[in-house]
Copies of this chain bind each other. A is one copy, B any other.
Amino acid sequence: MIDPVVLKGFRDSLPKDEIPKKKIIRKLEDVFSSYGFAPIDTPVLEYTEVLLGKGGGETDKQIFRFKDNGGRDVAMRFDLTVPFARFMAAHHSEIGVPFRRYHISKVWRGENPQKGRYREFMQCDFDIVGADNALSDTEILSMMHASFAALGIERYRFHVSHRGLFSLFLSRLSLEDKQIDILRTVDKLRKIGEEEVKKLLCEITGSAENAESIVSYITAGEGKTFIETLETLEKLSGGESEHSARMREIYTNLEKLGIADCFEFDPSITRGLDYYTGIVYETFLTDLPAIGSVCSGGRYNDLASLYMKEKTPGVGASIGLDRLLAALEELGSPLLSDTAVADVLVVPSERKETEAMMVSSSLRAKGLRVSVYLLPDAKMKKIYQAAESGEIPYLLTFSETGFAIKDLRTREALQGDEAIETVVKDRVH
């Protein structure tokens, strides 16, 4: 016998996990399609050089990398951004820009598994490339808003900021060359707190005054409206600029779309990565602040510089699906609570097997999900257990004269000719 174990950091997805996951993915796909975003897919395995660049970086140790049977140095993708950049370079002329894509798929990282962290997880990315204007920034934010609405999440906030604006501010302090270290430190604010950030910034910039200035910039949004914060930051970064104008334009758009209330200007948002150049954003669930951002991204200057000369500016975001699922579960989302594998369990009692199949066909034609109980000789106790373990709410049994339907949640028998219509009304949406 071989022990049927999975690798550390990997896991099976049982129906109770997979049913809600599929439901959520469908809802997101429907929103993305309604915004004209097209799905793409890329190989799970790629040349290591293509994924890591010629050097390779910190991710290097964290990836599943090996020599294939033909001796090629290959690796499993660790995110969906790098494959998208490679994809754009490869199909640039065929697909044309502006191009909107979404990609919902698994990625793999060899990092040490911790609570809630796995070596195999689902990522959901969406981007617009080939346009650099407030219109495309707004489309992404509007689609994020529509996605959260579709998932029935009510209490959340989009925190946005602008990397260009922050860079202007740092230039005024003559700190442009320390920008990357400063960004990474600011990014830790939520985790380590203001005092610790100030200490680190003092070390990086060599001046308590600089550290103080930066902290007052990144906390300038507290207790202020979006526009008030924007005005403050505009002053701190040396007055009106294309960056502050862009943010103003985006906010006007959000107001006209009637969704501005969900957004706050939070200059502590920087997204650690070097990559972003314009608006950046993170999304926090009001009732679960500790889990961190569930949807993050921003605008970048050039997606595919590793693979081609043409510049591809873009704007996009990424949803950590596993984290979002865990959050929805904790919030008691109705999307996750109904994990029934079927609406009706049809029991071919009294040896009415073909009748059972025929009734099932007619119920399916009405849109119901019907499971035929496959062991006609089983005791009723076992049948009830099956219904319970599949969370199936209705039971249909046969008698000499016809069939009867029971609501297993209330233990009530449904009476008369309308029994089926009652079930349809309850279960088909």
* Residues of A that sit less than 8 Å from B by CB: 1-8, 10-15, 18-19, 22, 26, 29, 33-47, 49-50, 53-54, 61, 64, 66-70, 72, 74, 76, 86-87, 89-91, 94-96, 98, 100-101, 106, 108, 110, 120, 128, 130-131, 133-136, 138-139, 142, 146, 252-253, 256-257, 304, 306-309, 341-342, 345, 348, 353-354, 356-358, 361, 364, 367-376, 385-386, 389-390, 392
Contact = CB atoms under 8 A, between A and B. Distances in A.
Contact of A18 (B7, B40, B110): B40
A95 B15 contact: yes
Contact of A357 (B44, B68, B256, B373): B256
Contacts of A41: 12-13, 18
A353 B249 CA distance: 11
Given A44-B106, A146-B364, A256-B358, 17 more contacts: A2-B306, A2-B307, A4-B50, A5-B50, A6-B43, A7-B68, A13-B42, A15-B38, A15-B101, A19-B38, A34-B369, A36-B392, A44-B120, A45-B64, A66-B66, A96-B386, A253-B357
B101 A7 contact: no
Contacts of A373: 98
B68 A374 contact: no
Given A68-B64, A253-B357, A354-B252, A14 B2 contact: no
A12 B87 contact: yes
A374 B35 contact: no
A12 B358 CA distance: 43
A91 B130 CA distance: 48
A46 B6 contact: yes
Contacts of A139: 357, 372, 374
A342 B36 contact: yes
Given A2-B307, A50-B5, A100 B35 contact: no
Contacts of A101: 15
Contacts of A348: 135
Contacts of A253: 353-354, 357
Nearest to A52: B2
